[in-house]
């Protein structure tokens, strides 16, 4: 089972006309592994994540995903209904702005239950039970299940988005700046929660961020991007403690030392 990677990316490029979004990206992601992607803004992190998660077709290259039955599928060659189903069951996307990932007009419970209903669950009590259980896991009080997300704080919204994404039991989660826009103490709690969930559920994840502290905590492996290309890749601690590429050295040394 573990002989094929969960996600295999080969020669992935995305151009915007003459401009480069990302170029010649290759990597394998294994089950249960967390990959961090760091780089300054404009370095192509989000373009890469969009291509990986099937939301933006690449200009060249392949993204292959290993299904539960062990067969491999090319993400951009598979029929759209299957890709949609995959995105709603085996995958999750956590957006930087929780408002992009949530339905702000319906209650928290409905937000968490949506993926279950989308794959055909039709028992109200079970859906609600699952929603309540997930809210508890992400430390949101059970009494707030019927409240609108508009009444939630920023940190709660992000946690609600995580619950909504994980409820379908995905094997791979894409996170775009999961802690962006949160204050430091809330960030710490969220990271703690994420790390616990990723370990408990054996999730594989791709985490895009510009915050090196986040990848140090979450990611096993790290890719450093600059101008659309990967300049350095390796184990997180290795890259951060012994950066080889001048840009990585700059990045690491630019963190405030306390």
Partner 1 sequence: MTTATGYNFAYLDEQTKRMIRRAILKAVAIPGYQVPFGSREMPLPYGWGTGGIQVTASVIGSADVLKVIDQGADDTTNAVSIRRFFARTAGVATTRRTTEATIIQTRHRIPETPLREGQILVYQVPIPEPLRWLEPRESETRKMHALADYGVMHVKLYEDIARHGRIATSYDYPVLVNDRYLMRPSPIPKFDNPKMHMNPALQLFGAGREKRIYAVPPYTKVVSLDFEDHPFEVQRWDDCCALCGAADSYLDEVITDDRGGRIFVCSDSDYCTGRIGP
Shortest approach of partner 1 to residue 133 CB, angstroms? 16
Nearer residue to partner 1 within complex by CB, 119 or 133: 119
| CA 73 – CA 64 distance, rounded (Å) | 5
Shortest approach of partner 1 to residue 89 CB, angstroms? 11
Nearer residue to partner 1 within complex by CB, 82 or 195: 82
| CA 101 – CA 235 distance, rounded (Å) | 30
Shortest approach of partner 1 to residue 74 CB, angstroms? 19
Q: Which two tokens stand for residue 223?
A: 């890719």
| CA 112 – CA 131 distance, rounded (Å) | 5
| CA 116 – CA 128 distance, rounded (Å) | 10
**Backbone phi, psi, residue 26, to 5°:** -130, 130
Nearer residue to partner 1 within complex by CB, 6 or 108: 108
Length of the chain: 258
Q: Which two tokens stand for residue 16?
A: 């915007």
Nearer residue to partner 1 within complex by CB, 124 or 202: 124
Q: Show contacts of 242-250: CB within 8 Å, 24+ apart.
A: 248/224
Q: Which two tokens stand for residue 6?
A: 């969960």
Shortest approach of partner 1 to residue 84 CB, angstroms? 6
Shortest approach of partner 1 to residue 13 CB, angstroms? 26
**Closest to 223 in 3D by CA, of 239, 237, 202, 211:** 239
Which residues contribute to the site for partner 1 (CB under 8 A)? 80-81, 84, 103, 106-107, 109-110, 113-114, 117-120, 122-125, 127-128, 145-146
Nearer residue to partner 1 within complex by CB, 121 or 245: 121
Shortest approach of partner 1 to residue 117 CB, angstroms? 4
Nearer residue to partner 1 within complex by CB, 145 or 157: 145
């Amino acid at each position: 089972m573990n002989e094929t990677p969960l996600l295999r990316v080969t020669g992935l490029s995305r151009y915007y006309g003459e401009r480069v979004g990302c170029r010649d990206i290759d990597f394998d992601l294994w089950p249960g592994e967390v990959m961090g992607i760091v780089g300054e803004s404009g370095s192509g992190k989000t373009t890469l994540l969009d291509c990986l998660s099937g939301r933006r077709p690449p200009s060249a290259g392949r993204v292959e995903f290993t299904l539960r039955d062990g067969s491999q599928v090319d993400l951009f060659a598979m029929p759209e209904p299957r890709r949609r189903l995959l995105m709603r069951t085996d995958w999750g996307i956590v957006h930087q702005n929780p408002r992009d990932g949530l339905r702000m007009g319906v209650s928290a419970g409905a937000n968490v239950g949506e993926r279950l209903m989308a794959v055909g669950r039709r028992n109200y009590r079970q859906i609600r039970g699952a929603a309540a259980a997930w809210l508890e896991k992400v430390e949101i009080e059970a009494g707030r299940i019927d409240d609108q997300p508009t009444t939630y704080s920023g940190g709660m919204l992000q946690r609600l988005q995580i619950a909504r994404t994980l409820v379908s039991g995905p094997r791979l989660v894409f996170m775009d700046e999961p802690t962006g826009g949160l204050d430091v103490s809330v960030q710490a709690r969220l990271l703690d929660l994420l790390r616990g969930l990723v370990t408990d559920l054996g999730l594989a994840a791709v985490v895009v961020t510009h915050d090196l502290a986040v990848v140090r905590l979450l990611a096993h492996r790290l890719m450093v991007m600059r101008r659309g290309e990967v300049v350095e890749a390796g184990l997180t601690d290795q890259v951060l403690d012994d950066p080889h590429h001048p840009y990585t050295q700059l990045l690491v040394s630019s963190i405030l030392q306390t």
